[in-house]
């Protein structure tokens, strides 16, 4: 139905040692010519090695966050040019764990996105409501505010991906109903088209994230305007991530 290339993105979070790169080798062996894009965002310590490992394979790599400044006295932080230099093509920004653990605001995410785009990275901008916000029926208002505040004006359909990740579904094994996922994805698509026009709005990919597993991936990927997934726990092992990738390849 759409011309958007599907994207299976793995977010390793604060997991992964050198030995775990064997999972990436296994994944590339299983998907030598995948029918979708495969992105893995390892911890920064593994980025260079993973990028070297995947240079001839179908997997691309990304960072999990970057600083809004290009360089300077920011101990422990990582800049967008450093990620690009380490082989990253993408960076996840505004993940709910960054928003919760580090107090990142929409303005912070937007500033980081501008720097990342300048460095030639593609940005995966995360939005999502908490359970309290969903129960108060504020989901669309919250998502609308996050989209407006976090996405810079200068994005294109190629260099920006939105990930819808309900906070209450991350790492919990709970997922929204397919109807709820569809409602939010349609809403995000409409907002993107309204703000950026049909060209950008229709070509940007919208991922679902939050407890995506081999057992629920196919039904999630059948929801209109779901162009792939941002996968946490189930991206760590090839045995879990591979069937999710296959489900995406086989989706409409
Ligand atoms: P999960 O995490 O798949 O472990 O729920 C998703 C995410 O936070 O990106």
| Distance (Å) from CA 72 to ligand 1 centroid | 31
Terminal alpha carbon distance of the chain: 7
Residue 55's SS3 state is coil
Residue among 23, 37, 104, 165 flagged as catalytic = 165
Within 6 A (CB) of ligand 1 lie 11, 165, 170-171, 209-212, 230-234
| Distance (Å) from CA 233 to ligand 1 centroid | 6
- Percent of the chain at pLDDT above 70? 99
State which ligand 1 atom lies nearest to the alpha carbon of 169: 5
Average pLDDT over all residues of the chain: 97
User: pLDDT tens digits for 149-208?
Assistant: 999 999 999 999 999 999 999 999 999 999 999 999 999 999 999 999 999 999 999 999
What's the CA gap between 183 and 134, in Å, rounded?
A: 13
Domain boundaries, the chain: 7-249
User: pLDDT tens digits for 207-221?
Assistant: 999 999 999 999 999
Pocket test for ligand 1, best of 126, 128, 165, 169 (most atoms within 8 A of CB): 165
Residue among 95, 97, 104, 185 flagged as catalytic = 95
State which ligand 1 atom lies nearest to the alpha carbon of 172: 5
Nearest protein CA to atom 9 of ligand 1, as residue: 232
pTM, to two decimals: 0.97
Judge whether 31 counts as a catalytic residue.
Answer: no
Dihedral of the alpha carbons of 131, 136, 137, 141, in degrees to the nearest 10: -90
User: pLDDT tens digits for 80-121?
Assistant: 999 999 999 999 999 999 999 999 999 999 999 999 999 999
User: pLDDT tens digits for 20-38?
Assistant: 999 999 999 999 999 999 9
Pocket test for ligand 1, best of 171, 176, 208 (most atoms within 8 A of CB): 171
Structural domain 7-249, CATH architecture: Alpha-Beta Barrel (3.20)
State which ligand 1 atom lies nearest to the alpha carbon of 126: 9
What's the residue count for the chain? 252
What's the CA gap between 97 and 148, in Å, rounded?
A: 20
CA geometry: angle at 151 spanning 146 and 152, to 5°? 145
Residue 9: C-alpha distances to residues 12, 129, 140, 141 (Å): 10, 20, 24, 26
Judge whether 165 counts as a catalytic residue.
Answer: yes
CA-closest candidate to residue 164, choices 201, 197, 124:
124
CA-closest candidate to residue 245, choices 214, 208, 204, 207:
214
């Amino acid at each position: 139905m759409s011309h958007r290339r599907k994207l299976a993105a793995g977010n390793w979070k604060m997991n992964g040692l050198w030995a775990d790169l064997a999972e990436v080798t296994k994944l590339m062996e299983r998907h030598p010519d995948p029918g979708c894009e495969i992105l893995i965002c390892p911890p920064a310590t593994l980025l260079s090695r993973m990028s070297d490992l995947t240079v001839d394979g179908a997997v691309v790599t990304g960072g999990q966050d970057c600083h809004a400044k290009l360089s300077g006295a920011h101990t422990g932080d990582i800049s967008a040019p450093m990620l690009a230099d380490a082989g990253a093509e993408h960076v996840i920004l505004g993940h709910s764990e960054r928003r919760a653990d580090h107090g990142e605001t929409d303005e912070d995410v937007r500033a980081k996105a501008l720097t990342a785009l300048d460095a030639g990275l593609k940005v995966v901008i995360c939005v999502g409501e908490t359970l309290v916000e969903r129960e108060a029926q504020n989901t669309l208002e919250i998502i609308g505010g996050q989209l407006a505040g976090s996405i810079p004006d200068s994005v294109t359909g190629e260099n920006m991906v939105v990930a819808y990740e309900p906070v209450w579904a991350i790492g919990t094994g709970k997922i929204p109903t397919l109807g709820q996922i569809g409602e939010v994805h349609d809403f995000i698509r409409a907002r993107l088209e309204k703000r950026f026009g049909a060209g950008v709005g229709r070509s940007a990919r919208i991922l679902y994230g939050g407890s995506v597993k081999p057992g629920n991936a196919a039904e999630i990927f059948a929801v209109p305007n779901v162009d792939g997934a941002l996968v946490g726990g189930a991206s760590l092992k090839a045995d879990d991530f591979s069937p999710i990738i296959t489900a995406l390849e086989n989706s409409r």
